[in-house]
């Protein structure tokens, strides 16, 4: 009931606030909803397949009893791949040797990946609580990503360049008022389901393109836009948790992703170019849903194996909470067990030593820090990243 009142309040105030939008084009971009029928036969056919894959993913995610296991592990994988699209590169080892709990990061790139994971989880908590994705919410996500609060662009001069040639390929809206107007329109399109009866997956594809074309920030637009994809699927009820590993697909098809983004901006046949873009995004949802289903099933099977071994070999220290901790991150530190189980350092070391003794963990020392590695879990994520 509280969420419904907040949603109703948002829709009422969004109608009343600011100057009414009278033009259908602002800053060279068409306001949403678009004037084209995007539910073509090829799109509808692909939609059915993407929805089946998403539904299976949503169902399989319930097989893991503790939601934090998927949030902590899959959010970090999504963060790694999304950051890689922006040439922020880190390895799995660097990632797992770092942690936000102690603010210890192996490199600046690793810190940025953790910022992404934190922003994604913060955004998810907000959507689950309020059922909305507001501009203030998007501003918060982007601020966490880039560690500043510069907000929407106010100074002209931003242009998107070809990475190889340095050639200017696209100039987004430059006027601050136009950016505000476009973002206000996008906000209403995201949250007001009465504006348009398109399928939510089509809306997600359109929202992503519009956001990237507005390019509202000085930095972090691509990463914020990819977080927005996941949050919109959660808001639409198509995902229970932000676990769709979509950035891996985009990263592996990066040139096609950027080509299709640009084609819509310059193409003389907008319906055809929009259709190609929507089909590309639906392919990504279909493929990454199937890959994530296999990964989650692998985690579930591995947890069952560990559970059986722990109950058989070390029944006195076995607990579901301990099992959850060593599956929330491939590299476990003593302090994580201390805080997670509310035990002393001596007890935490004993637990991890016993897990090492029976072959479920491997201890290694890096610098002055001891890590206990869940090697089969590490290998699952290594294999997933190579698909």
Q: Which of 291, 322, 344 is the last residue of a domain?
A: 291
Both 283 and 332 in one domain: the answer is: no
Which CATH number characterizes residue 249's domain?
1.10.3290.10
Both 344 and 279 in one domain: the answer is: no
Both 267 and 193 in one domain: the answer is: yes
Both 115 and 239 in one domain: the answer is: yes
**Ranges of the chain whose pLDDT falls below 50:** 1-5, 9, 11, 15-22
Residue span of the structural domain in which 358 resides? 314-385
For residue 375, give the nearest of 317, 306, 311 by alpha carbon: 306
CB burial of residue 356 (10 Å; 0-12, 13-18, 19+): middle
Q: Which residues are bridge partners to 362 per DSSP?
A: 373
Q: CA 378 to CA 329: how far, in whole Å? A: 9
Both 136 and 234 in one domain: the answer is: yes
Both 110 and 179 in one domain: the answer is: yes
Looking at residue 206, its pLDDT comes to 97
Residue 299 lies in a domain: no
Both 209 and 347 in one domain: the answer is: no
Looking at residue 76, its pLDDT comes to 82
Residue 25 lies in a domain: yes
The domain total for the chain is 2
Looking at residue 20, its pLDDT comes to 45
- Greatest CA span in the chain, whole angstroms? 71
Both 287 and 354 in one domain: the answer is: no
Strands 168-170 and 331-332, sheet pairing? unpaired
Residue 102 lies in a domain: yes
Looking at residue 387, its pLDDT comes to 65
Q: CA 120 to CA 76: how far, in whole Å? A: 9
Both 13 and 85 in one domain: the answer is: yes
Q: What is the pTM of this model?
A: 0.89
Residue 302 lies in a domain: no
Both 132 and 220 in one domain: the answer is: yes
Tokens representing residue 189 in the block: 């399109």
Looking at residue 2, its pLDDT comes to 40
Which CATH number characterizes residue 336's domain?
1.10.10.10
Looking at residue 85, its pLDDT comes to 87
């Amino acid at each position: 009931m509280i969420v419904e009142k907040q949603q109703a309040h948002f829709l009422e105030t969004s109608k009343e606030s600011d100057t009414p939008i009278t033009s259908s084009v602002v800053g060279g971009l068409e306001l949403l909803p678009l004037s084209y029928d995007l539910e073509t036969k090829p799109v509808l056919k692909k939609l059915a397949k993407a929805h089946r894959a998403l539904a299976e993913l949503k169902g399989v995610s319930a097989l893991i009893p503790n939601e934090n296991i998927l949030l902590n592990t899959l959010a970090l994988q999504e963060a790694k791949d999304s950051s890689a699209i922006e040439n922020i590169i880190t390895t799995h080892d660097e990632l797992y040797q770092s942690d936000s709990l102690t603010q210890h990061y192996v490199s600046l790139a690793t810190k940025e990946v953790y910022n992404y994971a934190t922003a994604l989880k913060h955004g998810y908590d907000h959507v689950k609580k309020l059922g909305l994705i507001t501009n203030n919410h998007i501003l918060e996500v982007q601020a966490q990503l880039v560690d500043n609060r510069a907000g929407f662009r106010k100074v002209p001069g931003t242009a998107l360049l070809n990475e190889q040639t340095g050639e200017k390929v696209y100039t987004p809206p430059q006027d601050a008022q136009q950016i505000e107007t476009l973002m206000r329109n996008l906000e209403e399109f995201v949250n007001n389901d009465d504006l348009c009866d398109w399928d939510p997956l089509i809306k997600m594809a359109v929202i992503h393109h519009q956001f990237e074309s507005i390019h509202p920030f000085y930095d972090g637009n691509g990463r914020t836009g990819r977080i927005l994809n996941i949050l919109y699927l959660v808001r639409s009820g198509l995902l229970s948790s932000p676990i769709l590993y979509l950035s891996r697909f985009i990263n592996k098809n990066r040139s096609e992703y950027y080509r299709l983004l640009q084609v819509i901006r310059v193409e003389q046949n907008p319906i055809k170019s929009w259709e190609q873009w929507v089909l590309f995004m639906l392919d990504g949802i279909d493929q990454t849903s199937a890959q994530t289903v296999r990964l989650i099933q692998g985690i579930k099977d591995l947890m069952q194996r560990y559970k059986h071994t722990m109950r058989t070999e070390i029944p006195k220290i076995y607990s579901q909470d301990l099992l959850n901790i060593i599956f929330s991150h491939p590299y476990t530190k003593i302090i994580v067990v201390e805080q997670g189980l509310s035990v002393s350092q001596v007890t935490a070391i004993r637990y991890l030593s016993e897990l090492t003794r029976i072959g479920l963990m491997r201890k290694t020392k890096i610098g002055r820090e001891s890590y206990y590695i869940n090697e089969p879990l590490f290998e699952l994520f290594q294999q997933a990243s190579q698909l």
